[in-house]
Amino acid sequence: MAQPMTNPTTVLGDFIGQNWLITPAALAVGESPPATILDQKWLLVMTGVVEADLLGDSTWSTSSVSFLPSKSLSLGGPGNNTDTGPLNWAINNYSIERPSSDPRDYDLAFSVVSWAPFVGLSAIFDAHQSIDAGFAVNFWRPTHFKHGFHYPDVSRPLNNVFSGITVDVGVSDTDASILKLSYHITLVGTIAFAATNSLID
């Protein structure tokens, strides 16, 4: 059931048809190769649809929603399975050495160098007669990047960790709803191992 829109940011988490792609980013002519595999830049693309269920009112009702296409910053698959998701796939496929045999020692994350996101309307509904109905996706931006420290070298700062997207949306008409939003997120950055629980806003 659609919920009335409110000013505080609503966190969305029910996804449909998620897809991702990750591949090493190519070097420009004359660019020096990465010193280590952890300096390697990756192109990461995530697409999908997220349930919104946001109900309008008699005037333009605006709100912000945010979502991370995963259960955690590791961008793991359904149930946060550590063997799935783009970061773990790249680590396994390219034989990237993990900093510890105990996964509790570090948090997997993606440190962003550049990004180009898109969020749009995917499904809308107006239950009865349409009276000045309207639907809008007004603006999108990164949810606050997180910052912390690398593991095992906890003296090295880790910056710009991807933590999702925040979207400003609007609905007009008391029986009108935004049901779903579609997204296409393109990121360039590095796979990072953060010291456990060091990542903060």
pLDDT of residue 55: 87
Mapped onto helix, strand or coil, the DSSP state of residue 37 is helix
pLDDT of residue 189: 98
* pTM, entire model: 0.90
pLDDT of residue 80: 46
Q: Can you give the residue ranges of every domain in the chain?
A: 3-24+40-96+104-195
Instruction: State mean pLDDT over 154-178.
Output: 93
Q: What sign results for the dihedral spanned by CA atoms 122, 128, 134, 137?
A: negative
Residue (of 54, 55, 25, 28) closest to 41 by Cα position: 25
pLDDT of residue 18: 93
pLDDT at 150 over 50: yes
Query: pLDDT over 90 for what percent of the chain?
Result: 75
Q: Tens digit of pLDDT for each residue in 78-92?
A: 554 556 799 999 999
Confidence grade of residue 170 (pLDDT, cut at 50, 70, 90): very high
CB-based burial label for 14 (10 Å; 0-12, 13-18, 19+): exposed
* CA–centroid distance for 153 within its chain: 26
Can you tell me the distance from the alpha carbon of 31 to that of 38, in angstroms, rounded to the nearest whole number?
Answer: 17
